[in-house]
Amino acid sequence: MLTEVDNGMIEEILPNLYRAEIPLPKSPLKWLNSYIVKGKDRFLIIDTGFNREECLNAMNTALQTLGVDLNKTDFFITHLHVDHMGLVGTIASEKSTVYFNECEAQRLYTHLAGENHWEKMVELYISHGFDAEGARASMKRHPAHKYSANRRIDFTVVNDGDMIEVGDFHFRCVATPGHSPGHTSLYEADKKILVAGDHILFDITPNITNWLEMEDSLGEYLASLEKVKTLDVELVLTGHRRLVHDLRGRVKELQDHHRARLNEVLVALGDGEKNILQIAPHISWDITAKTWEEFPAQQKWFAFGETMAHVTHLEKQGKVRSKSHNGKITYSLA
């Protein structure tokens, strides 16, 4: 049952399992699906939204409506994107356990210690054709710079196969890297549900971008799709938009989507050598902009990274080869 409250919607999915829509202002994602599990003595919140007032107000309304006591609440964060974890630093209490995957916990700690991850990303994009001014402007507009957690969080690290129990829910952590290096889903075998974060979405396809920590992010994502396809699942709880009632059918659609994009890259390289910036306009993007030049700066950043992930995957397969000249990288058919 879907209930409208002052700042969004709350849906009861199963007894003691709820979905709260947390608005994501000015984001094409529209809202985050935050899941709230009620146990006898503790509550569990899965993903939180941006660290901004609109998200906090919606979350507080949902928690008050459901009678959730934050002093008795733990958190599970599927992955490091700020629309999923930005608010946890604000609402987690000193008594909260915050479960997070080891890979990304270490990455965040290293970043906070001073490693300049963003500058490395900018340099990488520039070497593949993104103009320097545009790259730095897009980087500065990235939501991670504006809406991240307001404090360092002492995570309780979880890995593939670990269990998290609350009430009569027995969640098994399932490593599903690809959308991010350590993305982790939760599987409840008895109830046949998969809390998939951004690993599987319905109305839109998850962004698979290039990561410094991953040699082939698309390859890992496709392997993760195969991994979850074997699970006995009747309902996929997605990170955004509508839920998925046919896991295997949606997996096939996502596989077909990436297969088509890989083919578009090969076609783009059919008439000669190109860098990533020159390949990206040949890809079919689900966006209202008619030309690559009309893409909003932030969407161009995301599309560029996704193109790079597809080209890198083809290079790993031996179908394209790269060439570096004076710090600039181009690709051609192998």
- Conformational region of residue 14, where left means phi above 0, alpha means psi within -120 to 50, and beta covers everything else: beta
Distance CA 324, CA 326 (A): 7
The model's confidence at residue 138, banded by pLDDT at 50, 70 and 90, is confident
Instruction: Indicate the average pLDDT of the chain.
Output: 93
Question: Could you give the angle at the alpha carbon of 190 between the alpha carbons of 189 and 191, nearest 5°?
Answer: 95
239-268 pLDDT per residue, tens = 999 999 999 999 999 999 999 999 999 999
80-90 pLDDT per residue, tens = 999 999 999 99
Contact in structure between 135 and 161 (CB atoms under 8 Å) = no
pTM, entire model: 0.94
Q: How many CB atoms lie within 10 A of CB 133?
A: 9
* In the predicted structure, residue 111 carries a pLDDT above the cut 70: no
* In the predicted structure, residue 4 carries a pLDDT above the cut 80: no
Distance CA 275, CA 106 (A): 32
Q: Which fold has domain 2-141+150-257?
A: Metallo-beta-lactamase; Chain A (3.60.15)
* In the predicted structure, residue 1 carries a pLDDT above the cut 60: no
- Give domain limits for the chain: 2-141+150-257
